[in-house]
Structure 1
């Protein structure tokens, strides 16, 4: 581990989609200045559609695994970023976290489920993943300034 890099943990409900995308983008775009981790208050496995849309963008998260927040409870983090409202509300106490920040993103699986119910096809479902993927990229591109100020 590099002590000079800022340590950031992205936290979501199931560590399946949004936090995985955030971890992937941060490794891809900010690996020189940030040591990144992701976890969930539960573990749901990595969402295959999240993997697919990240791969389209040139970022491979297929090797990621869904991790429970308890794996990080006693690790020093500079910033814990919750990326969904549920994780914000149920985020455990991190005695070794310097700062807690919330930046919520819509839930692609829930959006895709609604589209599927309305008869939407696979491409329409993937489009909501792409939208959130791109929003997360925009957030990560501004790291670390947008969480340290």
Structure 2
């Protein structure tokens, strides 16, 4: 399953990237994030990994993020792996008239019958979640509105 979402953030790209590239800020725009752990000595290099733990309702989810391409300020590509799901994220950042256009391409690869069925029956839920993350990032970056205070 593949889809693309995008949003424009009312910040110059260099300011946008300072917020996006700081893992301490993730808790302010990634709902359900409980903790993260850097697994690499050089966390910003290609191949670097981070373990992420989320709580979504009663469900706990743990995944490993891997940086596969880091060509800032233009692009950042990562993968996210958890049981039954391999997610490839290709993020592009374009500066347009002092603002930043964030284009996020997602590809989900499912393994196991349950995850394949969920991907088939609920593709809109994945896209909706991606859009929510972008909107929450925008609120945090532009207005310092954290999901922790909601």
Q: Is the shorter-chain TM-score for this pair beyond 0.5, marking a shared fold? A: no
Larger RCO, structures 1/2 (Cα 8 Å, 6+ apart): 2
| Structure that is richer in helix per residue | 1
| Structure that is richer in strand per residue | 2
TM-score normalised per structure 1: 0.30
